[in-house]
Structures are given as C-alpha cells and as structure tokens.
Amino acid sequence: MKSEILSLLRERGDYVSGQELCERFGVSRNAVWKNIEQLKKDGYDIAAVRNRGYLLQESAAFDVFGQNELESRIRTKWVGKRALFFPEIGSTNIRAKQEAEEGAPEGTLIVSDHQTAGRGRRGRAWESPAGCNVYFSLMLRPELKPEEAPMMTLLMALAVAKAMEEMEPKAAETDDAAVRIKWPNDIVIGGKKVCGILTEMSMEQTYIQHVVIGVGINVRRQTFASEIAQTATSLEEAWDKPVPRCELIGRICSAFEELYENFLQSRTLAGVREEYERFLANKGREVRVLDPAGEYDGTALGINDRGELLVRSTEGNIKEVYAGEVSVRGIYGYI
C-alpha cells in the first residue's frame, strides 16, 4: 500500500485528506497514519496538516532507491508490474533468468543498487558499485526466432534514450549533453558511454523460451576504473543535475512497453527506424566493422527494418551489419 500512497500523493501534487486515503485503500485512519510514518522513516518528506491531510514534498536530489519507490514509479500495463528490488545481488540478469525458469510472468523486472557479479558483453565484468547507478533486467517471453532477438536490444536502447531525453529535454539542444545511441545498443553522451545493455536468451531448438534484457546506467558522478575512465560518463556528470533513479526506470518501462507492443505487430523495426536514427551517433560517421570474416571500413548510413547497420564500404557497396556477430568502432575515437 505504501507505493500506492506514494503514487497518489505524487500524482496529486497537493494535500490528500486522510479520509480519502482510508476510502481509497479500505483501511482505518490509523493504518494510513502508520504507513505515512513508515514512509517518513524511509526518508520521504511528507507534511501532515490537520484538516488538510498529507502532502509529499519532493526534491530531485533526494533519491530513494527501494521497493516502494520503484513500484510507485511504474505506470505501465505489464512491463515491471512485478518488480523486485534487491539492495545487493550477484547479477540482475541471472536472477531474472531464474525467475523465468520458475514461471514468473512476462515483464518481471529485477532491480538492484549493487551487483557483486555484474556481467557485461563479450564475457566482460560490469562494475556495479552501490549507491550510484541503475542495474536492472527485464524478462520477456517473445514469440520470435533467435535471430530476431537483437531487435529487442535495439528497442531497449531506444526506450532508454527516450526516457533519458524526457528526464532532461534541454539535453537535445547541445552536442555535449545530447543522448545518442552507438549502434546497436550503447547509450552515449558527449561521446562517452553512459549505459550498456546485455541481452541473454534461453532457446529451445528454433524458438526462444525467454529473453532477459539487462541494463546498466551510470547515474552519479563517480571514479571509473582506469580501463574505461576515458570512455565512460554518468548522467549527473553530463547534465550537472540530480537524476532520481526510480523515476528513470519507470520512464524506461513505459517507453519500452509502448515500443515493444508496436514491434510485436510487425516483428520489424520499420515503425521505429526513423526515431532510432534520430538518436544514432554513428550516422554519417566513418566506422570500422570488426567482422570475424574480415574487417572493413565504411560510412554508417542508418539501420534497416531488421535493425542491421547499413554501412557503405570504401568500395561503394552497401553492407548490412548484423548486431549479433560483429562490432563497430569509430575510426576517429570511440563512436
């Protein structure tokens, strides 16, 4: 009930009477009061005024990261409707996979403040310190062929980019603060990585059993490990303003739900291509395609309906680069 009280107080942005809360949740005044007291203990600033009721006074700098706050920020139909918050966990991707195997509903969301065994792409570790970042995994059961799965990662990248832009609309106005996607799914700001996405799937012969999309976002200012210090940044460093983490997760869930439901109708990215390309950092840039069959250089043009990167090679052929197999580097830097 605490998360519902929070949502209601936040939505109202004004005093809500104790009576209204009692009626809404079918509980006594005393029960409402007790819940409010617990929320205050969790750090929420809630004013209680006789004859007026309760008022939530929020400041963006106050970043509660926990179960109630998370639930209160999720405004979707099904994505994240079952959300589990862990102060510490090995890896949210592993937990989400276990949930899938135990029959959890599609859209189950695992969120943590600290991962002790965070996983990155290509078998790398993902540094996951406590108190400063977002680590979450979303579990889905799509009726897709395994080779179609990379499209879901692109959709998540687009959802993250859209949600970030909503959090800081002014960002789009300056190159240094604008949110961009480095194909297929790194989110970058000012040429530095702010978010990584790791999609893992479980397959049964030719169909997908479940997919786990794991997202790690650098939020607070922090000292990065020396290997990534030159290429990583955080939202607060890039924007110089506080970013409440559960609000960001809530917005990502809403954006993803809408994109994913539309995607399932055509099972192509035709409907989001233009929007994805608006964020695409590589567009028009010289890239090196690290194809196991042979590296080549070219100019990135955009994506096709399957989410492959279109690259015009130096010989003038247009190649379609499939996200699952190759990686793309900027010739003059990270992008």
> What is the binding site for ligand BTN (CB under 6 A)?
91-93, 115, 118-121, 124, 126, 135-137, 196-198, 214-216
- Nearest CB to ligand BTN, comparing residues 5 and 232: 232
What are the distances in angstroms from CA 153 to CA 11, 57, 149, 171? Answer: 31, 37, 7, 23
Block residue for tokens 């809403």: 254
Give the SS3 label for residue 172.
helix
Peptide bond into 184 cis (omega under 30): yes
**Rounded to whole angstroms, how far apart are CA atoms 318 and 315?**
9
Question: With respect to ligand BTN, which residue has the nearer C-beta, 6 or 280?
Answer: 280
SS3 per-residue string spanning 189-237? ECCEEEEEEEEEEEEECCEEEEEEEEEEEECCCCCCCCCCCCCECCHHH
Question: How many Cα neighbours within 13 Å face the side chain of 82?
Answer: 12
Distance, in Å, from the CA atom of 294 to the CA atom of 186, rounded to the nearest integer, reads 23
Beta carbon nearer to ligand BTN, 3 or 91: 91
Q: If residue 166 lies in a helix (H) or strand (E), which one and from where to where?
A: helix 150-167
Residue 111 CB, shortest distance to ligand BTN, in Å, is 9
CA dist list (Å): 88 to 8, 84, 149: 28, 12, 29
**Least separation in angstroms between CB 335 and ligand BTN:** 14
68 vs 137, which CB is nearer to ligand BTN?
137
Token representation of residue 245:
């983490």
- Tell me how far, at minimum, the Cβ of 40 lies from ligand BTN, in Å: 31
Minimum distance, C-beta of residue 327 to ligand BTN, in the bound complex (Å): 11
CA 39 and chain centroid, separation: 26
- Minimum distance, C-beta of residue 217 to ligand BTN, in the bound complex (Å): 8
Q: What distances in angstroms separate CA 128 from CA 131, 181, 294, 322, one per listed residue?
A: 9, 21, 34, 29
What is the closest distance, in whole angstroms, from the C-beta atom of residue 306 to ligand BTN in the complex?
Answer: 21
Q: Which is nearer to ligand BTN, 6 or 138 (CB)?
A: 138
Helix 18-25 vs helix 2-12: angle between axes, to the nearest 10 degrees? Answer: 130
Question: What is the separation of C-alpha 163 from the centre of its chain, rounded to a whole number of angstroms?
Answer: 8
Q: Is the CB of 92 or the CB of 234 nearer to ligand BTN?
A: 92
In the bound complex, which residue of the shown chain has the CB atom lying closest to ligand BTN? 196
Cβ 269 to ligand BTN, closest distance in Å? 20
> 72 vs 92, which CB is nearer to ligand BTN?
92
Q: Which residues pair with 52 in a beta bridge?
A: none
Q: Smaller CB distance to ligand BTN: residue 66 or 120?
A: 120
- Min. distance of Cβ 182 from ligand BTN in angstroms? 10
